[in-house]
Amino acid sequence: MKKSTRLSKARKIKRILWILFLLVAAFYVVFVAVFFLSLPDVEYLKEENPETTALIEQRKKESEQKSEDFEVRMNWVHFSEIPQAFKDAVRVSEDVAFYDHEGIDYFELKESIKRNLEEGKTVRGGSTITQQLAKNLFLSTEKSYFRKIKEFFIAKRLEKHLSKERIFSLYLNIIEMGRGVFGVGAAAQYYYKWPVSFLNLEECVRLAAVLPQPLETNPLSNSSYLKKRCRLILERLKFYGMITNEQYDLTITKFQD
């Protein structure tokens, strides 16, 4: 084969590879652009309370598929009306570093990935309050890497445009706390028949304890699972100095086996 022929073939191959590279790069750019354009606008949440959420709509569809009635209970309350004991109980159980991170707790995320890989299944979540808010407002309960990626970027947007207090307030007002029960205002009325501001420490701890499994756990029950969660929350509240030793000693007796 002549040298000129070999050079010609080499140029053709190089040209083909270059075209393939450009096509892949163009596809990547378009995919990234479409992905970010698909992310929801969150700035309106500075002043407006959402009338519904992705999770509420998902629960409605699930009930329709089962031909079951579904009543949405959601009673918006101001952040200042919510007892500090409930805010603290939620933080120590769901995201104790909430005020220290910018939407993603990278240490907790790393530890969760490590633990889940060791167990070969999801046994530890690493989602912050901001990530949970992103999921409940705009996504679904589907377990997938793509959903987690969207959750990540929506959480970053929430942290960019909203204050920590506003994020926490939204979370406490939309979080699922039972079948058809969304937010602590609705939960206080539904389970205890009084306003959220009337909740005492025991009631706050009981309500916070249902968050990991809101459809399977009733805060009024005395199941082993609920009492174990409540003891854990009380121990953490005491550890972080959010309650006194006297408050701990008085309340822990309600959750002994």
Q: Which residues of the chain have pLDDT under 50?
A: 31, 35, 123-124
Instruction: Give the Cα separation of 255 and 222 in Å (integer).
Output: 8
Spatial neighbors of 92 by CB under 8 A, at least 6 apart, are 233, 236, 237, 240, 242
* CATH number for domain 73-255, candidates 2.60.120.620, 3.40.50.460, 1.10.3810.10, 1.20.140.10: 1.10.3810.10
Spatial neighbors of 120 by CB under 8 A, at least 6 apart, are none
pLDDT of residue 7: 56
pLDDT of residue 126: 72
Spatial neighbors of 89 by CB under 8 A, at least 6 apart, are 204, 205, 207, 208, 233, 237
Tokens of 65: 């598929």
Angle of helix 84-94 relative to helix 129-138, nearest 10 degrees, comes to 90
pLDDT of residue 203: 98
Domain spans, the chain: 1-38, 73-255
Positive or negative: CA dihedral 41, 50, 71, 175:
positive
* Cβ density class 4-21: b for 16+ within 10 Å, e for less: eeeeeeeeeeeeeeeeee
Instruction: Give the Cα separation of 187 and 174 in Å (integer).
Output: 10
Read off the pTM: 0.84
Per the CB < 8 A criterion, the answer to whether 211 and 94 are in contact is yes
pLDDT of residue 123: 47
Per the CB < 8 A criterion, the answer to whether 117 and 231 are in contact is no
Instruction: Give the Cα separation of 203 and 239 in Å (integer).
Output: 19
